[in-house]
């Protein structure tokens, strides 16, 4: 049977999502739990490989079991093993051709910035930012990134193809918290963190919006801006319909 689960996790407790030898990872912990339940080695596939320190409110994962387990019981069984830094929100049976990564229609990421007084309790979950933020300027930057572009200047490492479509970028402020919300289909390694870093560099007048436009339009032009830290990034949701 093939199952899909939607999972939350605290990324500050893991060496990223992807399985690593002798490292505690999200994928490794879920595979350990499922292998106990199924009494055989189980491998899972995620919708995306979040990096060290990145959190998730709605990571999508699929896997196959040799045994048939009611979805509610499977949620309870997994959660009893992976508690407390991973939590399965839902589980359902899916068709055999369903794939947590390749069946994705849209992903949503949220980057959280805290502009209030420093708090040690927020350190692992926000970028704590002590400079004044120009919301209108951030919103202007956000509009630049919407659409289909070659994001080669905003992706870590070399790739044959860094084309992607971002459907929407919004900036929301609630009291002392600022959330930058990205929705799109394909997001490459460090891409959201690099886009946020570029927006903050514009905010601090280290570059301007015209540079961002050039970085997107000219494939032969290369420029490096800051990478926002992982701790403020959340994979908010993965959508298949």
Is 100 within the bounds of a domain? no
Give the pTM: 0.95
**In CATH, what number is assigned to the domain containing residue 167?**
3.30.70.660
Cα separation, 230 vs 53, in Å, equals 5
Contact 99, 119 (CB under 8 A): no
Q: Are residues 117 and 231 in the same domain?
A: yes
Q: Do 87 and 133 reside in the same domain of the chain?
A: no
Burial of 7 (C-beta count, 10 Å sphere; 0-12/13-18/19+): buried
- Confidence at residue 241, expressed as pLDDT on a 0 to 100 scale: 86
The answer on 126 and 83 residing in a single domain is no
Domain membership of residue 82 as a residue range:
2-93
Number of separate domains in the chain: 2
Query: Are 114 and 202 members of one domain?
Result: yes
CB burial of residue 137 (10 Å; 0-12, 13-18, 19+): middle
Same domain, 85 and 110: no
- Is the same domain home to 225 and 134? yes
Q: How far apart are CA 3 and CA 202, in angstroms?
A: 44
How far apart are alpha carbons 24 and 185 in whole angstroms?
28
Tens of pLDDT along the chain (241 residues)? 999 999 999 999 999 999 999 999 999 999 999 999 999 999 999 999 999 999 999 999 999 999 999 999 999 999 999 999 999 999 999 999 999 999 999 999 999 999 999 999 999 999 999 999 999 999 999 999 999 999 999 998 777 889 999 999 999 999 999 999 999 998 999 999 999 999 999 999 999 999 999 999 987 888 889 999 999 999 999 999 8
Residues 6+ apart with CB under 8 A from 18: 25, 27, 49
Note whether 16 and 26 are within 8 A (CB). yes
Round to whole Å and give the CA distance between 10 and 6: 14
Q: Bin 175: left if φ > 0, else alpha if -120 < ψ < 50, else beta.
A: left
171: in domain:
yes
204: left (phi over 0), alpha (psi -120 to 50) or beta: alpha
Considering the domain architecture, whether residues 88 and 173 belong to the same structural domain is answered as no
Instruction: With CA atoms as reference, report the closest residue to 183 among 219, 126, 236.
Output: 236
Q: What is the pLDDT of residue 56?
A: 98
How far the first Cα of the chain sits from its last, in Å, is: 21
- Could you give the C-alpha distances from 14 to 11, 23, 31, 79, in angstroms and in order? 5, 8, 14, 16
Tokens of 233: 């990034």
Contact 240, 92 (CB under 8 A): no
Q: What is the pLDDT of residue 157?
A: 76
Residues marked active site are found at: 51
Residue 99 domain-assigned (yes or no): no
């Amino acid at each position: 049977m093939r199952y899909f689960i939607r999972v939350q996790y605290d990324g500050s407790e893991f060496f990223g999502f992807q399985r690593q030898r002798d490292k505690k990872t999200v994928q490794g912990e879920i595979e350990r739990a499922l292998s106990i339940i199924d009494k055989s080695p189980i491998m899972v596939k995620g919708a995306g490989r979040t990096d060290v320190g990145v959190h998730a409110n709605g990571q999508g994962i699929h896997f196959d079991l040799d045994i048939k387990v009611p979805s509610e019981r499977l949620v309870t069984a997994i959660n009893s093993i992976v508690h407390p830094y991973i939590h399965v929100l839902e589980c359902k049976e899916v068709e055999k051709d369903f794939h947590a990564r390749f069946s994705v229609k849209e992903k949503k990421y949220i980057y959280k910035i805290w502009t209030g007084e420093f708090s040690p309790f927020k350190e692992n979950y926000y970028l704590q930012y002590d400079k004044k933020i120009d919301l209108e300027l951030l919103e202007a930057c956000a509009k630049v990134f919407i659409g289909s572009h070659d994001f080669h200047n905003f992706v870590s490492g070399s790739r044959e193809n860094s084309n992607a479509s971002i459907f929407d970028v919004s900036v929301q402020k609630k009291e002392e918290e600022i959330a930058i919300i990205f929705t799109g289909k394909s997001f490459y390694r460090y891409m959201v963190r690099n886009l946020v870093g570029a927006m903050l560099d514009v905010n601090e007048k280290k570059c301007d919006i015209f540079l961002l436009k050039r970085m997107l339009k000219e494939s032969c032009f290369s420029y490096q801006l800051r990478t926002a830290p992982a701790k403020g990034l959340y994979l908010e949701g993965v959508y298949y319909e």
